[in-house]
Structure 1
Amino acid sequence: MKYLLFFSIFLSFKIGHSQEAKTKLYIIGTVHESSPILNPQMLFDILDNIKPDVLLQENDSEQISSYFKDIRPKSNEQNASLMYLKKYPATLNLPFEFEGRNKYRRDNGMVPTDNLAINLIDSLYEKNLLSPANTKIFEKYKEANKALINFSQKDIQTLNSIEFEVVNRHRQFIQHHELSKIVSSEEIFSRKFVTKPNGEKISYREGYQLWCNFWDLRNNTMAINIIKKANEHKGKKIAILTGVQHKYYLKELLDKYYDGNYEIVEYFK
């Protein structure tokens, strides 16, 4: 009986300690540039209400190293964070982005083939040159974009809602998994090329598919980086500032890779 009582007390202590030690993750979906929907002051107010110990930025380590020097006047995240760091100088400001994201996309020809491919799809659609099946795919994409635009004209709370996540997930799936069917089946995309920085040519078809694949790789990398930071700063509050279109995916991946050391707290309710 004595041992059962001791075990019960020990187990209660362990459970309570485990709950207390969990890192709190606040994923704040943002729009990157100041607008009526979100500006630096509005984002600062959100941060000041949460009072995070750590800020995680959608930047890589190189961008973070010049965070206080390379100021982007229209950036919501940077300017709000600088205001917050000035008020709370002990706060850590850390990266969680895929390292060398922009260079990686350029070097591999994903940029500018991403936009060039979508523009070409649109041009073929307007000229009625897409196959019937591909026409249906692109019309579905256009409708999804309209729904996304309707949401984007509301407010930051709406853009962080479950309703927006559903619409955004649908649109992103079409863009990265359905439009690639058009690019792979319409012959013209294999005959249009761009030149990569190393001088090699890459077709719109290959470049667009690489860009689609990178969407998954990038989000997985960001989720893993968040989990690492959550473990490095156990029991702390972490505000994750990410473009709103990543939020649904990061939440899904943080649930998929859950290790018991963190909890996601919904700031917008």
Structure 2
Amino acid sequence: MNFIMKYLFSSLSVLFLNFAQAQTSIKTELYIIGTVHDSSAILSPDMLFEIIDKIRPDILLQENDSEQMKDYAKEIRLTSNEQNATLRYLKKYPETRNLPFEFEGRNQYRIDRGMVPADYLTVKLIDSLYLVGKLSDTNKAIYEKYKEANNALLNFSKTDIKTLNSVAFETLNRYRQTLQHHEVPKIANSEVIFEEKYVVKPNGQKISYRDGYQLWCNFWDLRNNTMAINIIKHANQYSGKKIVVLTGVQHKYYLKELLDKYQDGSYRVIEYFQ
């Protein structure tokens, strides 16, 4: 966590140096659009294009890092809502900037540290212990709350994109993510088997399910903080512009909270779906 705190302190210090100047400039407009990444009845590339086109942003921010953005128009996933809607928008408005705001090297970062596949394997093991009644009463209660929250989120997945951008969804999602990243680790930390089971990292070192899952949970905070800071950097760099941030719906509540927490006076967040 020391690395996280040092990183955030350094990044925020740079941002707040621009605070006085930001107070006197025209505020950047930020639209945080929670998306589902693959085309479905909830959201399709055409539907997302219509949303973006109505806002008419100067800049699009993608949940990709700089390396992924290099091949953004080359490796096209036909089911990707963001990619196909964005390319259509860029064709219509070629002067638009299309930029990344993701944690750099996100996927490899998780693999190198053993977070993946420890995250999946830990939850899978918890579920198997739950089914055969081998969790303690305390851990059973934690896991049941987590399962109930997941089921509630599944009900939202049968609605529409406006509902997935609602305060009701954000409230439930915040609760579910809190359980996943702060309560479920208590199960792995208190059951001996999660210290005995391990995965092998790419460098050949072993890491227990317990430690790998905890690192993965910590990364949720680091990743979202990094994305929020990158958004603010863009807001400062493109002062007075209109920016659409395309992010998975599960990140939206967290990014909004962080953008409020780190507000430097350079931007205002606008809710499109209200």
The yes-or-no answer on 1:249 pairing with 2:220 is: no
Q: Which runs of 5+ in 2 are unaligned?
A: 1-21
Q: Which residue of 1 aligns with 2:143?
A: 138
Pick the structure with greater CA Rg.
1
Query: Normalized against structure 2, the TM-score is what?
Result: 0.91
Further displaced range: 69-78 or 108-117: 69-78
Q: Which residue of 2 aligns with 1:113?
A: 118
For residue 70 of structure 1, report the CA deviation from its aligned partner: 1.3
Distance 1:154 1:19, change over 3 A: farther
Alpha-carbon distance in structure 2 between the residues aligned to 1:256 and 1:45: 30
1:161-203 residue CA offsets vs partner (Å, 9 max, x unmatched): 0010000000000000000000100000001111111111111
| Identity score, percent | 69
Alpha-carbon distance in structure 2 between the residues aligned to 1:118 and 1:166: 23
For residue 19 of structure 1, report the CA deviation from its aligned partner: 7.6
- Count residues in correspondence: 253
List, as ranges, runs of 4+ consecutive aligned residues in structure 1 with deviation greater than 2 Å.
Answer: 17-20
Q: Which residue of 1 aligns with 2:154?
A: 149
Partner amino acid, structure 2, of 1:236: K
For residue 20 of structure 1, report the CA deviation from its aligned partner: 6.7
The yes-or-no answer on 1:23 pairing with 2:62 is: no
Q: Let me know the Cα RMSD of the aligned residues.
A: 1.0
Q: Which runs of 5+ in 1 are unaligned?
A: 1-16
Further displaced range: 70-79 or 22-31: 70-79
Query: Normalized against structure 1, the TM-score is what?
Result: 0.93
The yes-or-no answer on 1:195 pairing with 2:214 is: no
Further displaced range: 165-174 or 69-78: 69-78
Q: Tell me the SS of whatever aligns to 2:30.
A: strand
Alpha-carbon distance in structure 2 between the residues aligned to 1:214 and 1:134: 23
Q: Which residue of 1 aligns with 2:244?
A: 239
For residue 32 of structure 1, report the CA deviation from its aligned partner: 0.5
For residue 71 of structure 1, report the CA deviation from its aligned partner: 1.0
Q: Which residue of 2 aligns with 1:98?
A: 103
Alpha-carbon distance in structure 1 between the residues aligned to 2:167 and 2:24: 26
In 1, are the aligned partners of 2:25 and 2:239 still within 8 Å (CA)?
A: no
For residue 73 of structure 1, report the CA deviation from its aligned partner: 1.4
For residue 146 of structure 1, report the CA deviation from its aligned partner: 1.0
Q: Which residue of 2 aligns with 1:225?
A: 230
